[in-house]
Amino acid sequence: MTTQNAIEVSHLIKKFGEKVAVNDISFKVRQGEVFGLLGPNGAGKTTTLRMITTLLKADSGQVKIFGHDAAKEGRLARSMFGLTGQYASVDEDLSARQNLMIFSRLNGLSRQAAKERTTELLTEFSLDNSADKPLKAFSGGMRRRLDLAVSLITRPALIFLDEPTTGLDPRTRSQMWDTIRKLVDQGSTIILTTQYLDEADQLADNLAIIDHGQVVKMGTPAELKEQLGGPRVTFTLSQTSQVAAAERLLATQVAGDVQEEGPDLSVSLGQVAQLATLLATLNDAQIGISHLAVQEPSLDDVFMSLTVGKN
């Protein structure tokens, strides 16, 4: 297999009336990776996803799915991916089995193949026991599982998940994460949108942070966190009178600013090893420390620093 990209999005633009929902978004998704579109509500994540999956026509720009222009070869493009929408896109009036059967048939499976695949997926997603109950009796988690199962009927190489865990309880959520990881292990390429930073951190190999219809940052979760500098250490001094002296000392040791809040002084470290030097310096100056905290920057910090104040 060549190192062809699963998706190439270039210069997508979508306007709804005066409002520019997606403003020149471009990115590439490599085969076999999990690509996360992260952003606050209304940032343009779903609109972007709908354009990639041919549900919405872009005003301009191009989408290529495994090298095929999605606008020109819509049906071919659609045969190569599975989509799980934000709200459960399954038939409420039908049972799980009927849903899977109908969508299998619509995906072009023969009656026999559809039957086999349905049984397989019901087992895989632990829906055996409720297979013939109407969906109205389903919990949110079961519905999502069925929804995902429907997207996987043809074992697509490319899977789109639009906010796959929004509204799920923590347990169902981690079950969903496990399912997604399993898909990755099987070699699927996954594009997911989320507004949860921990979800992006847990699952995504690469991230695009979207705000106001634009990609504000792109990279691996680690890279994005690195941009905020290394881990942050906070010293709580035993004596407030020593704050000024300690601040002067620390400033000579680290590159960034020293932040001061009451008896707390915090600095950003290049590497964790630097901490030893800082402690020694403070010790030599006989500045006592009552408390010490080291914090790895989280994606939340990245997210806040990029989007706060703009919304």
Partner 1 sequence: MDVQIHRGNVLQNTATMAYRNLLKTIHNPDQLMDVVIQPVLFMLMFGYLFGGAIAGGVKAYLPTIVPGILIQTMLSAASGSGAQIREDLDSGVFDRFKSLPMARIAPLAGQLFADSLRLLIAAITSLTTGYLMGWRPGVGLGWVVAIGLLAIFMGWVLSWVFALLGLLAKSAAAVQSVSLMTMLVLSFMSNAFVPMKALTKPLQFIARLNPVTYVITAIRQILATGSWTHEAWVVLVFGLVIVAIFAPLTVWAYDRN
Q: Which residues bind partner 1 (CB under 8 A)?
A: 53-55, 75-76, 78-79, 81, 83, 85-94, 98, 102-103, 105-110, 113, 117, 134, 150, 153-155
Which tokens go with 214?
Answer: 């634009």
The rounded radius of gyration (Å) of the Cα atoms in the chain is 25
CB of 148 to partner 1, least distance (A): 12
Cα(206)–Cα(237) distance, rounded to whole angstroms? 40
- Closest to partner 1 by CB, 10 vs 98, is 98
| Element of type H or E holding 99 | helix 96-106
- Closest to partner 1 by CB, 84 vs 206, is 84
189 - beta bridge partners?
A: 158
- Closest to partner 1 by CB, 153 vs 269, is 153
Q: CA-based angle 158:134:130, to the nearest 5?
A: 70
- Closest to partner 1 by CB, 117 vs 225, is 117
Cα(165)–Cα(194) distance, rounded to whole angstroms? 8
CB of 40 to partner 1, least distance (A): 22
CB of 23 to partner 1, least distance (A): 23
Strand boundaries in 123-231, DSSP class E: 158-162, 189-194, 206-211, 214-219
Q: Is the dihedral of CA 42, 48, 53, 54 positive or negative?
A: positive
- Closest to partner 1 by CB, 94 vs 251, is 94
CB of 102 to partner 1, least distance (A): 5
CB of 60 to partner 1, least distance (A): 18
